[in-house]
């Protein structure tokens, strides 16, 4: 090693950057709000510990799980999954044209592009439980309301991710088709959809997983599915039935996730 | 060359990009069955000129006639038809990667048949599929029809791009550095396809290249650009490598 003459190097920077006045004020305000948040919501370790015995009691009553209502439970579990499938199918089908309108370089007009983005964003930001309440009011109690709620929620999700997949599609083949005189539909079907297929499948499968989970909850507001069974069992303190339902839901969700992971690997 | 036989004819072409005249008062023409090489140093304006010809880049000034039709004043529909009749092969891989080779070739018909008949080979009428297979044969690749395009080698995918251009039934084929991203052997192969198309089928071919050997070996005429201006326009037979090399100094 050649020796390097020792020279005093420049000073190292300060270990911590001193925050500006504004950042400091924001930090203090955020910390203060966090404190009020804990207070206002009665966050208390003691309360949680006092709940311990009843947790143990409920847990004890859960076992052994009751198989008394296995038939009806299986039936509503199937209905829950059917709601998820139907809602996802409708949602994805509607998302595709919306996503095309929401993709900047495919949209026929900038106004349409922005308007579609707003619609999709509204579908996404309003929680699915709120959609379910709305649709129960519109089409009445039952699984159809749940299907509609899922469909709208999926438009919010897929509309955005489909558009992203299409925006990311390789531009060179699109340019090549434009250069040979192809029109917009030809470019979308011939070049963009094939390139975006993995993204579309990925988003659709992810939607189905999400829909399966949320369709469980939709039953709580009367939009069909297994949620109502769970609520009845809990209300009647039949924790042994409740655990059966919870395990059934868990099995369904895991099964759907496994299947979709497998399909996803195949589609890439 | 006689004016009457010109397949493409441009004059006074100007294009300013980034405050600089990238194409500066260029006149260019090519006649039927002619194979023209456009040469010049990097940044000389070759790609821009080629794109100007089919208005993939809009000219600031000048006139362009393709197949006798005014391309500058053309309506959107007329321009689409001109593009349909003009094949364009780019330097870089621009096939639809996840589609089959045959689908990519069938795409060449999208300018002349409705989209629902040509967005994939599966929906194309039998006659169109047969025509696409014939185009693949013309570039020597009928055996890769069912292969996904992103599995092709560089030389193969460039030849498939040519087959797609042939599917347009073009009278004019423009190619921007078609061999630049290929290894030398594949490059020679691709250039050979162009020459064969011009010689045997009477197609007009204009290609850009920074390989002097490609220009001299495959073109009938060499047009040299320097800083956006035409510095050389002569039959290949009348010039030597030194003349072309001088363009690069
Ligand atoms: N979009 C653009 N904006 C600004 N300058 C550009 C643009 N496209 C090309 N140029 C410039 O124009 C000149 C000619 O480019 P190009 O036609 O690609 O040359 P060549 O193909 O001969 O290498 C280059 O100096 C390039 O930097
Ligand atoms: Mg170039």
Report d(CA A29, CA A266) in Å as an integer: 50
The per-residue DSSP string of A141-181 comes to SSHHHHHHHHHHHHHHHHHHHHHHHHHHS-HHHHHHHHHTT
Range(s) of the domain holding residue B202? 6-248
Please state, for a pLDDT cut of 70, what percent of chain B lies above it: 98
Q: Inspect the interface and report whether the beta carbons of B110 and A195 lie closer than 8 Å.
A: no
The pLDDT value recorded for residue B102 is: 95
Tell whether ligand 1 has an atom less than 6 A from the beta carbon of residue B17. Answer: yes
Buried b (16+ CB within 10 A) or exposed e, B215-237: bbebbbbbbbbbebebebeeebe
Residues of B in contact with A185 (CB under 8 A): 115, 119
Q: Which ligand approaches the C-alpha of residue B19 most closely?
A: 1
Inform me whether the C-beta atom of residue B163 falls under 8 Å from chain A C-beta atoms.
no
Please state, for a pLDDT cut of 90, what percent of chain B lies above it: 55
- Å between B28 CA and nearest CA of chain A: 20
Residue of A nearest to B86 (CA): A180
- Å between B171 CA and nearest CA of chain A: 13
Report whether the peptide linkage leading into residue B213 is cis, meaning its omega lies within 30 degrees of zero: no
Q: Which ligand approaches the C-alpha of residue B90 most closely?
A: 2
Residue located nearest, by CA, to atom 2 of ligand 1: B17
In a domain? residue B217: yes
Residues of A with CB under 8 A from a CB of B: 170, 172-173, 175-183, 185-186, 189-191, 194-195, 197
The pLDDT tens digits for B64-110 are 999 888 999 888 888 888 888 899 998 877 999 999 999 999 999 99
**Which whole number is the average pLDDT over A105-128?**
89
How many angstroms separate the Cα of B150 from the Cα of each of A21, B55, B137, B143?
55, 29, 19, 15
In a domain? residue B17: yes
User: What sign does the CA torsion over A36, A37, A41, A47 have?
Assistant: negative
Residue of A nearest to B106 (CA): A190
Does residue A8 register a pLDDT over 80? no
Q: Pick the atom of ligand 1 nearest to B42's CA.
A: 23
Nearest CB to A173: which of B95, B108, B111?
B95
The pLDDT value recorded for residue B3 is: 43
The pLDDT value recorded for residue A241 is: 87
Q: How many angstroms is it from B248 CA to the middle of ligand 1?
A: 16
Tell whether ligand 1 has an atom less than 6 A from the beta carbon of residue B46. Answer: yes
The pLDDT tens digits for B118-137 are 999 999 999 999 999 999 99
- Å between A52 CA and nearest CA of chain B: 57
In a domain? residue B1: no
pLDDT grade for B198, boundaries at 50, 70 and 90 = confident
Report d(CA A132, CA A153) in Å as an integer: 10
The chain-wide mean pLDDT, for chain B, equals 89
Mutating to test ligand 1, I would choose from B14, B17, B46 the residue with most ligand atoms within 8 A of its C-beta, which is B17
Residues of B in contact with A197 (CB under 8 A): 98
The pLDDT tens digits for A23-49 are 999 999 999 999 999 888 888 888 888
Residue of B nearest to A172 (CA): B94
The pLDDT value recorded for residue A4 is: 65
The pLDDT value recorded for residue A219 is: 81
- Å between B55 CA and nearest CA of chain A: 9
Does residue B2 register a pLDDT over 60? no
Does residue A194 register a pLDDT over 50? yes
Does residue A1 register a pLDDT over 80? no
CATH number at residue B243: 3.40.50.300
**Which whole number is the average pLDDT over A220-241?**
83
Nearest CB to B84: which of A172, A181, A185?
A181
Q: Inspect the interface and report whether the beta carbons of A179 and B80 lie closer than 8 Å.
A: no
From the candidates B76, B87, B88, B96, which should be mutated to test the interface with A, based on the most A CB atoms within 10 A? B96
* Helices A227-235, A70-102: crossing angle, 10 deg rounding: 140
Residues of B in contact with A175 (CB under 8 A): 56, 90, 94
Residue ranges with strand state E in chain B: 6-17, 20-31, 35-39, 61-66, 69-70, 86-89, 172-176, 204-208, 221-226, 229-235
Please state, for a pLDDT cut of 70, what percent of chain A lies above it: 98
pLDDT grade for B187, boundaries at 50, 70 and 90 = confident
Residue located nearest, by CA, to atom 10 of ligand 1: B17
Look up the pTM and report it: 0.80
Question: Could you give the 3-state DSSP secondary structure of residue B105?
Answer: helix
The pLDDT value recorded for residue B164 is: 94
Q: Which of B227, B221, B247, B181 is nearest to B31 (CA)?
A: B221
Q: What is the ipTM of this complex?
A: 0.84
Number of independent structural domains in chain B: 1
In a domain? residue B179: yes
Residues of B in contact with A172 (CB under 8 A): 90, 92-94
**Which whole number is the average pLDDT over B22-32?**
92
Fold (CATH) for A70-267:
MetI-like fold (1.10.3720)
The pLDDT value recorded for residue B21 is: 92
Please state, for a pLDDT cut of 90, what percent of chain A lies above it: 38
The pLDDT value recorded for residue A64 is: 84
The pLDDT value recorded for residue A85 is: 93
Domain ranges across chain A: 70-267
């Amino acid at each position: 090693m050649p020796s390097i003459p020792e020279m005093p190097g420049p000073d190292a920077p300060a270990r911590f950057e001193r925050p500006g006045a504004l950042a400091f004020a924001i930090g203090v305000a955020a910390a203060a709000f966090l404190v009020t948040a804990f207070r206002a919501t009665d966050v208390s370790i003691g309360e949680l510990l006092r709940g311990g015995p009843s947790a143990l009691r409920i847990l004890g009553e859960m076992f052994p799980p009751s198989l008394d209502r296995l038939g009806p439970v299986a039936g509503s579990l199937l209905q829950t999954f059917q709601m998820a499938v139907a809602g996802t199918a409708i949602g994805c089908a509607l998302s595709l044209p919306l996503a095309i309108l929401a993709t900047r370089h495919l949209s026929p007009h900038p106004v349409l592009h922005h308007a579609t983005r707003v619609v999709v964003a509204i579908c996404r930001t309003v929680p699915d439980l709120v959609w379910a309440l709305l649709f129960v009011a519109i089409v009445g109690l039952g699984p159809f309301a749940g299907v509609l709620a899922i469909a709208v929620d999926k438009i919010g999700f897929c509309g955005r991710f489909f558009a992203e997949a299409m925006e990311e599609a390789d531009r060179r083949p699109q340019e090549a088709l434009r250069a040979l005189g192809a029109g917009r539909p030809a470019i979308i079907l011939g070049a963009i959809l094939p390139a975006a297929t993995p993204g579309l499948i990925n988003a659709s499968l992810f939607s189905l997983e999400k829909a399966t989970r949320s369709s469980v909850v939709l039953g709580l507001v009367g939009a069909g599915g297994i949620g109502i069974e769970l609520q009845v069992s809990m209300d009647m303190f039949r924790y042994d039935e409740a655990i059966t339902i919870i395990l059934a839901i868990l099995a369904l969700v895991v099964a759907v996730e496994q299947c979709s992971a497998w399909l996803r690997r195949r589609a890439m | 060359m006689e004016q009457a036989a010109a397949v493409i004819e441009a004059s006074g072409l100007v294009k300013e990009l980034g405050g600089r005249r990238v194409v500066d008062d260029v006149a260019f023409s090519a006649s039927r069955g002619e194979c023209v090489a456009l040469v010049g140093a990097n940044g000389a304006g070759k790609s821009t000129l080629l794109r100007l010809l089919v208005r993939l880049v809009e000219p600031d000034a000048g006139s362009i006639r393709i197949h006798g039709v005014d391309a500058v004043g053309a309506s959107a529909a007329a321009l689409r038809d001109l593009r349909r009749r003009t094949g364009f092969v780019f330097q870089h891989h621009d096939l639809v990667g996840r589609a089959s080779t045959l689908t990519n070739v069938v795409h060449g018909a999208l300018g002349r048949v409705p989209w629902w008949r040509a967005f994939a080979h599966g929906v194309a009428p039998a006659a169109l599929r047969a025509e696409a297979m014939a185009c693949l044969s013309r570039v020597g690749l009928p055996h890769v029809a069912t292969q996904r395009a992103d599995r092709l080698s560089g030389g193969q995918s460039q030849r498939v791009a040519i087959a797609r251009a042939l599917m347009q039934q073009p009278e004019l084929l423009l190619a921007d550095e078609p061999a630049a991203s290929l290894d030398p052997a594949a490059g020679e192969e691709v250039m050979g396809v162009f020459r064969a198309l011009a010689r045997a089928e009477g197609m007009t071919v204009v290609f850009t290249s920074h390989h002097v050997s490609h220009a001299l070996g495959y073109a009938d005429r060499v047009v040299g650009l320097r800083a956006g201006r035409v510095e050389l326009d002569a039959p290949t037979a009348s010039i030597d490598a030194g003349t072309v090399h001088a363009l690069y100094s």
